[in-house]
Structures are given as structure tokens and as C-alpha cells.
Amino acid sequence: MARLSYEPNKQKEKTPMPELDPVERAQTFEEVALGYSAEEAVNEARRCTQCPSKPCMAGCPVGVPIPSFIEQVALGNFARAYALVKSANSLPAICGRVCPQESQCEKRCTRGKQGEPVGIGRLERFTSDWAFEHPEEAAIAIEELREQRAAGAADASLQTDASASSSDDAAMDDANAVFPDVDLSGKSVAVVGSGPASLTCAGELAKRGCSVTMFEALHKLGGVLTYGIPEFRLPKDLVARETSKLGDLGVTFAVNSVVGKLYDIDELLEERGFDAVFVGTGAGLPSYLNIEGEGLNGVSVASELLTRVNLMKAYRFPAYDTPVYAGKKCVVVGGGNVAMDAARTARRLGADVCVVYRRGREEMPARAEEIHHAEQEGIEFKLLTNPTRILGDENGWVSGVECVRMELGEPDASGRRRPKPVEGSEFVIDIDMLVIAAGSKTNPLIANTTPGLDVTTRSLIVADERTCATSKPGVFAGGDAVIGAATVILAMGAGKRAAAGIAEYLAPSA
């Protein structure tokens, strides 16, 4: 164990996260997790052993200097901790809430070998929430850290506390080593989409003097952060707060601008004069079950339900203009995070909700925390169950869903055991609402309107893994538009690599 600059906390379990009561929160869209107090954050941070190999950092797609920022939290240097997080992660308040740390940084945490890992995500959220409440102190710490890097040395006189770690700058260098040392003043880049990949790419370029214009198809920024993730997991004022920081860096925004319709990629490069284009349009096109009855009234895809509720504030109708159908008995089909979001949203709209999933609990791709919260809120799970037909009444409204029980066979291409139907096990669930959360895919609009852009048979854009460069010169792509539906933090990692690739592309003439 490394020599610690603080008294270690040897408790094996994470410091519990304060939460709204399950009965109360099932009737409100207020945020479920309330966040650590300063005392709770320090207590959790002191569980970190500061192991020299830093395995947690290898699990972070954006290279957050995790041990260094946690050390600062443990010492009570919250401003310094935030500056370290912010140096590598442009959206820490968001990642601290929705990033699947349990399968990334926390999965590699040494403390997890004999107990629970350190709550890295919870601490990241704490530093961001603290910085929002102490903006002047946070800004000073960020500037001090920036000056420290510019000086090229770990000068203790520039640190916010005499006990601050001398490893801070080495960690920062590791996180930023991918970037060429170049001033992009005078260069302009178009960023298509405003989800996590695009926000990250735009921020990294703007910080280096580049003129960035972001084109968003909808009327609000944030992409999936705004339309896809519910208020009770990710408050929308927080998303707006994070995106507004790009404006402070000089990024300009063009909302209600569908690239591929209003402009195509060639027009952005040739007529609008952009030096490069980044495509981060995500994977927002829904997939269906392809079974009888999907066109009945009362049947929707999860993306429609969530967009109406999250983006258009339908849960506050008629104060907002967009209505949303809310049944009394709802089935949600799927086992991922989107299915959990849809189920918990329908519950808050007043429905009794049952999640139907064709595999078992161990195979569910949703975060364990989200499944646990759904169960706490009274949502039922019918596992090893698959819908075969949606039933309707004489008026064209859904009245039930016919299902078959499943059993698991040999693993399929995903590595999960393949489900197969149990003969003669069919049964019907009576419902008046059904939500399909069977995954999503990339909209082919950009692919169909961009000659010379290589795509896969699934309309995913082919891009270099390191630079995110596509087959079309000057065009870069990353996030779900390249790899398919994934996580916020993986998209951010791609946005960061793409910004470095664009900087490298523009560098010869910068």
C-alpha cells in the first residue's frame, strides 16, 4: 500500500448514498440520489488506498486522474479535486450520475477485491455539485492547475493546499497526452449533434482556440442527455448548466438544424467554409419487436415515451403543450437501462408496471443500481419471458400481450446464453399500455447524404479508432454513430479522441 496523506477508512462497504424514499419518489420526477455531504464524501474518499498501479484509471475512457482527485477529496481540498476531474472530463456532473462506473473504473478498484470498490462516481458527482455551489473557488483552482501545467512543473506554491499531491500533474499529463500541442485559432469546425460525444469534442477544440459551431436537430441541446435520460436520474437544469459552459468557451449553437436536410456535410465543408466536421449524431432510431399488434393504440417505443416526458415535459401537461398517454397496466419489453428508464417513468405517470425480459436477471444489461431502484419503486419483473403477439380490442387499443416462457441454452454471439421458448408455456398479460425498449440504431440520414463516407450494413460510420477520421477527408465521427448504442462515457472518450484527431489534421496549417 502506498503511503497515505490521510487517515484511511477501512470499512468494506461504500458510504451509503442518501436517496428519496421509494414510496415518495415513485410519485415524483425529482432526482432519486441526493448526493454526498462533505463529511460523507471525505469518509468515502478515505477508503481509497492510493495503490501505485492506479488500475482504476485504465477503466476510465476519458482519463480522469482518479487517485489524485480522490486524495484531494479525502484531504478536504474540494476545489482542487474538482479542477483535477474537470481537466479530463468536460461533463463530470453528468458522468457522476449516469456513467456505469461499476463496469469501468470501479470494476478495477483494488478495494473491490475484498468488499465494495471505492464510490468513484459518487465522489465525481460530489466535486461537481460542490463546484456549482462554490463557483469562484472552483474557477480559481482550475486556473491554478492550468498555470501549473503551463509552467511544466509540479510547483507546490501553486497548489491550493500544502498537502496537495505532487502526482496531480503527471496524472493530468497522462489524461491529455493524446492532444498535439497546437493553437487552433483561425480554424473552424462544425459539430453535428449535441450529445456527449459532440459536447466533449466541441469543448476540447474550443479550449484550444478553435471556432466551433454545433448543429442540433432538436430545439434543445444535450442529445440523449436531454431527451433520453429521465429527470429523476439526470436533472435537465444540470444538463443545461453543463452545455452553457460551452457557450462560455465561445461555441455557437444552431438548434432546429437537421444536417442531411437543411445542410449536408459537403455544404458545411465547401459552402459554409468549415475546416473539418465532427459527426456525433448518436443512435436514436428505435428498434421494434416485429410481432403482431405493434401498431395498436397504447403501444409505443421507449424513445417516444422518454422524449415526450423528458424533452417536452409531458409529465407537466397541460402546463406544457405535449400530452403523453399513461395507462393503468403497463408492460415494458427489454432489460437494458432504457427499459428501466421507461418502466420507472411509466410508474411515475401512474401505471402498475411489469418488465418483461427474455433472459434471466444475471443477463440483464441494465445497471444493477437501476434494477434495484425499479424494484424498490414497486415494478414487477417477469424474466425468461418473451412477447409473441400484442392483442387489441375492437377499438384498436392494446388489451393484452401474449408471452411465452423461455429457457437459456448455449451462448450466442454476445456471450450470453441464448434464450429458447418452452413449448406450451404461452400466457397472456392484460394491459392497456406497452412500451418497447428493444434497443436502437443509427439514423441513416447522414450516410445517405454524404458521398464518399464509408458505413457498415447497419449504417454505422466507419472511423479510425485512434483519430476518429472517416473515409471522407476532413470528416470525423465518434460515439454511438460509430459503435452503436453504448454509454455516455464511451461517447465522451470518442469525442475527446476525435478532437485530438481533428487538431492533428488541422495542425500542419494551423
292-302: string of b/e by CB count within 10 Å (b at 16+)?
Answer: ebbebebbbbb
What pLDDT digit, counting tens, does each position of 106-134 carry?
999 999 999 999 999 999 999 999 999 99
User: Higher pLDDT residue, 197 or 4?
Assistant: 197
Label residue 164 by pLDDT band (50, 70, 90).
very low
pTM above 0.85, yes or no: yes
pLDDT digits over 326-357, tens only? 999 999 999 999 999 999 999 999 999 999 99
3-state secondary structure 67-116: HHHHHHHHCCCHHHHHHHHHHHCCCHHHHHHHCCHHHCCHHHCHHHHHCC
**φ and ψ at 342, to 5 degrees?**
-65, -40
Residue 413 has pLDDT above 90, yes or no: no
Question: In this structure, are residues 450 and 457 in contact, taking their beta carbons and an 8 Å threshold?
Answer: no
Of 349, 351, 354, 309, give the one whose Cα is nearest residue 333: 354
Is the predicted pLDDT of residue 157 greater than 80, yes or no? no
The percentage of residues in the chain with a pLDDT greater than 70, rounded to a whole number, is 94
User: Is residue 152 over pLDDT 80?
Assistant: no
Per-residue confidence (pLDDT) for residue 242, from 0 to 100 = 87
Residue 431, φ and ψ in degrees, nearest 5: -145, 165
Q: Are strands 380-382 and 398-411 parallel, antiparallel or unpaired?
A: unpaired
- Percent of the chain whose pLDDT exceeds 90: 78
- Is the separation of the CB atoms in 69 and 167 below 8 Å? no
Is the separation of the CB atoms in 226 and 236 below 8 Å?
yes
pLDDT exceeds 90 at position 406: yes
Radius of gyration of the chain (CA): 24
Question: Rounded CA gap, 246 and 90, in Å?
Answer: 9
Query: What are the backbone angles phi and psi of residue 399, rounded to the nearest 5°?
Result: -125, -15
Phi, psi (deg, nearest 5) at residue 416: -90, 150
pLDDT score of 167 more than 60? no
How far apart are the two ends of the chain, measured CA to CA in Å? 46
Q: Measured between alpha carbons, how far is 145 from 241 in angstroms, rounded to an integer? A: 22
**167 or 95, which is more confident:** 95
| Confidence grade of residue 498 (pLDDT, cut at 50, 70, 90) | very high
What is the SS3 assignment for 303-343? Answer: HHHHHHHHHCCHHHCCCCCCCCCCCCEEEEECCCHHHHHHH
- Does 510 have pLDDT greater than 90? no
User: What 8-state DSSP symbol labels residue 485?
Assistant: S
- Which residues lie below 8 Å from residue 286, measured CB to CB, with a gap of 6+? 301, 302, 303, 304, 436, 438, 440, 441
Which pLDDT belongs to residue 178? 58
Q: Is the pLDDT of residue 386 over 50?
A: yes
CA–CA separation, 167 and 163 (whole Å): 12
Of the candidates 449, 472, 494, 98, the one whose C-alpha atom is nearest the C-alpha of residue 282 is 494
Question: Tens of pLDDT along 15-68?
Answer: 999 999 999 999 999 999 999 999 999 999 999 999 999 999 999 999 999 999
Alpha carbon 20 to its chain's center: 22
What are the cell numbers at 365? 444489461
